[in-house]
Amino acid sequence: MTDTDEAALYGVVQGVATITLNRPDNKNALSVELVNSIGDHFQTAQNDEKVRAILFTNNGNTFCAGADLKANQPGVPQPTARHSFVEILDDIIESPKPVFGRIAGHCTGGGVGFAAVLDVSIAADDIVIGFTEVRIGVAPAVISVVCLPKLRRADASELFLSGERIPASRAAEVGLINRSVPREKLDAEVKEALDKVVRGGPKALAAAKQLVSKVPQMAREDAWEWTAELSQSLFQSAEAQEGITAFRERRDASWVPKNTD
pLDDT level of residue 78 (50, 70, 90 thresholds): confident
Place domain 3-197 in its CATH homologous superfamily.
Answer: 2-enoyl-CoA Hydratase; Chain A, domain 1 (3.90.226.10)
Mean pLDDT of 75-101: 92
Q: How far from 188 is each of 21, 154, 220, CA to CA, in Å?
A: 20, 34, 39
CB 149 within 8 A of CB 155: no
Separation between Cα atoms, residue 148 and residue 155, nearest integer Å: 10
Q: Are strands 120-124 and 179-181 parallel, antiparallel or unpaired?
A: parallel
The model's pLDDT over 9-39, given as tens digits with 9 standing for 90+, comes to 999 999 999 999 999 999 999 999 999 999 9
Measured CA to CA, the distance from residue 61 to residue 28 in angstroms comes to 9
Q: Provide the pLDDT for residue 1.
A: 37
Report pTM: 0.94
pLDDT band, residue 259 (cuts 50/70/90): confident
pLDDT of residue 5: 86
Closest CA to 112 of 179, 38, 165, 190: 165
Query: pLDDT at position 261, please?
Result: 44
* Torsion over CA: 117, 122, 127, 128 (sign): positive
Q: Is the separation of the CB atoms in 26 and 70 below 8 Å?
A: yes
CA of 130: how far to CAs of 22, 159, 167, 181, in Å? Answer: 21, 7, 9, 18
- Beta carbons of 124 and 178 less than 8 angstroms apart: no
Which secondary-structure segment (H or E) carries 200?
none
All structural domains of the chain with their residue ranges? 3-197, 202-248
**Are 109 and 132 in contact, with CB atoms under 8 Å apart?**
yes
pLDDT in tens, 162-183: 999 999 999 999 999 999 999 9
Q: Which of 106, 117, 92, 130 is nearest to 21 (CA)?
A: 106
Q: Look at residue 79 and tell me whether its pLDDT is greater than 80.
A: yes
Q: Considering only CA atoms, which of 154, 122, 128, 159 is closest in space to residue 143?
A: 159
